[in-house]
């Protein structure tokens, strides 16, 4: 590993690139822009990145009109968010990957980022369920890859898991831990075990609720209402729609596989059908509930 000087993040000088402008990437970029970092947001789909930036700008405009932020603050933030394509990614101190949850696609991206940065950058993955160790093992500098797991919506959720794979250098994990604190979030160091901490603990919230509905013990609306009335911010079905039914399903499937078929983590057929039907939640306009149709691509 190269020296540790380059692990110090200075908002004035450091450049951060977030790759993937979907549900999570757009939110993570927003967090860094507000924390003072020049942030490049990139997606394989130009339409997706354009849409993410437009939605973000509209929200800033509304917040400025309501007096939640000043007009000059909004203008400053807008200047700090830059967009790029995978071909025009800049050299950055930190790359945060928030692309599709497919190991080989992520590994290929990290290989390219490593080449681009000449082994000098930290590579962070926002994966929910893939082993950080496995994502790193094809790299020349596996010690520079670390898990940096934000929760949805990234701007509002304070917790960020910092995950060390087998090869992650302790200074890399520590510098990401410090950075998370510096941007006003709450980091927690976790080991590279299936589901890390939060997704493992949270699994029964989804799997038991899905079983209740499959067994016709209660409707999904009843389950959501009941849990919301007991203090949960969102019932499991509303939450799965926010997370992405497909993303949530792939996390459960991954845990089930990585715990060698442990019945506690068995994925639901009801959820599998939703995924197969393309009913992925808010982002597709239909999930367990119906939403306003998303803008056409």
As annotated, the active-site residues are 128, 149, 161, 199
Q: How far is the CB of 48 from ligand NAI (least distance, A)?
A: 4
Nearer Cβ to ligand NAI, position 22 or 236? 22
- Residue 101 binds to ligand NAI (criterion: CB under 6 A): yes
Please select the residue that binds ligand NAI; options are 44, 64, 82, 226, rule is CB under 6 A.
Answer: 44
Beta bridge partners of 150: 160
Out of 7, 21, 146, 223, point to the residue binding ligand NAI (CB under 6 A): 21
Q: Which stretch binds ligand NAI (CB under 6 A): 38-46, 171-179, 226-234, 265-273?
A: 38-46
User: According to CB under 6 A, which one of 30, 43, 114, 241 is a site residue for ligand NAI?
Assistant: 43
Q: Does 107 bind ligand NAI (CB under 6 A)?
A: no
Q: How far apart are CA 125 and CA 132, in angstroms?
A: 8
How many other C-beta atoms lie within 10 A of the C-beta of residue 137? Answer: 14
* Centroid of chain to Cα 63: 24
- The string of DSSP codes covering 8-43 is ---TTT-EEEEE--SHHHHHHHHHHHHTT-EEEEE-
Residue 247 in contact with ligand NAI, rule: CB under 6 A: yes
Of 34 and 282, the one with the shorter C-beta distance to ligand NAI is 282
- Contact with ligand NAI (CB under 6 A): which of 1, 71, 75, 100? 100
DSSP assigned state of 90: P
3-state secondary structure of 198: helix
Give residue 181's Cα distance to chain centre.
17
Q: How many CB atoms lie within 10 A of CB 71?
A: 12
Minimum CB distance to ligand NAI smaller for 74 or for 200? 200
Residue span binding ligand NAI (CB under 6 A) among the ranges 13-21, 116-124, 173-181, 252-260: 13-21
- Residue 201 in contact with ligand NAI, rule: CB under 6 A: no
The CB-of-104 to ligand NAI minimum distance in angstroms stands at 10
**Could you say whether residue 98 binds ligand NAI (CB under 6 A)?**
yes
Please name every residue paired with 281 in a beta bridge, in sequence order, or none if there are none: 286
* Residue 79: count of CB within 10 angstroms of its CB: 10
- Within 64-93, the residues that bind ligand NAI by CB under 6 A are 86
Q: Are 177 and 236 in contact (CB under 8 A)?
A: no
Q: Which residue is closest to ligand NAI by CB?
A: 22
Nearest to 146 by CA among 177, 168, 117, 178: 168
Handedness of CA 43, 44, 46, 52 (dihedral sign): negative
Please report where in the chains the tokens 């919301």 appear, as a residue: 228
Residue 244 within binding range of ligand NAI, rule CB under 6 A: yes
Quick one: tokens of 179?
A: 């950075």
Instruction: Tell whether residue 202 is a contact of ligand NAI (CB under 6 A).
Output: no
Q: Rule CB under 6 A: is residue 30 a binding residue for ligand NAI? A: no
CA atoms of 3 and 226, how far apart (whole Å): 53
**Residues in touch with ligand NAI (CB under 6 A):** 19-25, 43-45, 48, 86, 98-101, 105, 109, 126-128, 150-152, 243-244, 247
């Amino acid at each position: 590993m190269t020296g540790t000087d380059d692990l110090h993040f200075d908002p004035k000088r450091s450049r951060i690139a977030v790759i993937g402008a979907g549900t999570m990437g757009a939110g993570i970029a927003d967090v860094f822009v507000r924390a003072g970092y020049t942030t490049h947001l990139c997606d394989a789909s130009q339409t997706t990145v354009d849409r993410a930036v437009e939605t973000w700008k509209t929200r800033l405009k509304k917040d400025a009109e309501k007096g939640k932020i000043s007009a000059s603050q909004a203008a400053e933030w807008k200047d700090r968010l830059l967009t790029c394509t995978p071909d025009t990614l800049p050299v950055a101190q930190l790359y945060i990957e928030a692309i599709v949850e497919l190991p080989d696609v992520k590994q290929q991206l990290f290989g390219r980022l490593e080449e681009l940065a000449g082994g000098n950058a930290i590579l962070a993955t926002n994966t929910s369920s893939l082993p950080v160790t496995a994502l790193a093992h094809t790299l020349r500098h596996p010690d520079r890859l670390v898990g940096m797991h934000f929760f949805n919506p990234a701007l509002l959720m304070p917790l960020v898991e910092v995950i060390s794979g087998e090869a992650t250098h302790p200074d890399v994990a520590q510098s990401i831990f410090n950075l998370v604190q510096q941007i006003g979030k709450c980091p927690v160091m976790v080991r590279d075990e299936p589901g890390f901490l939060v997704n493992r603990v949270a699994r029964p919230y989804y799997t038991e609720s899905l079983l209740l509905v499959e067994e016709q013990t209660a409707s999904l609306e009843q389950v959501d209402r009941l849990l919301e009335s007991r203090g949960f911010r969102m019932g499991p079905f509303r939450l799965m729609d926010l997370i992405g039914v497909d993303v949530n399903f792939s996390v459960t499937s991954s845990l089930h596989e990585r715990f060698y078929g442990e019945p506690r983590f068995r994925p639901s057929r009801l959820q599998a059908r939703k995924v197969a039907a393309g009913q992925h939640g808010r982002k597709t306009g239909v999930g367990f509930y119906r939403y306003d149709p998303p803008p056409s691509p």
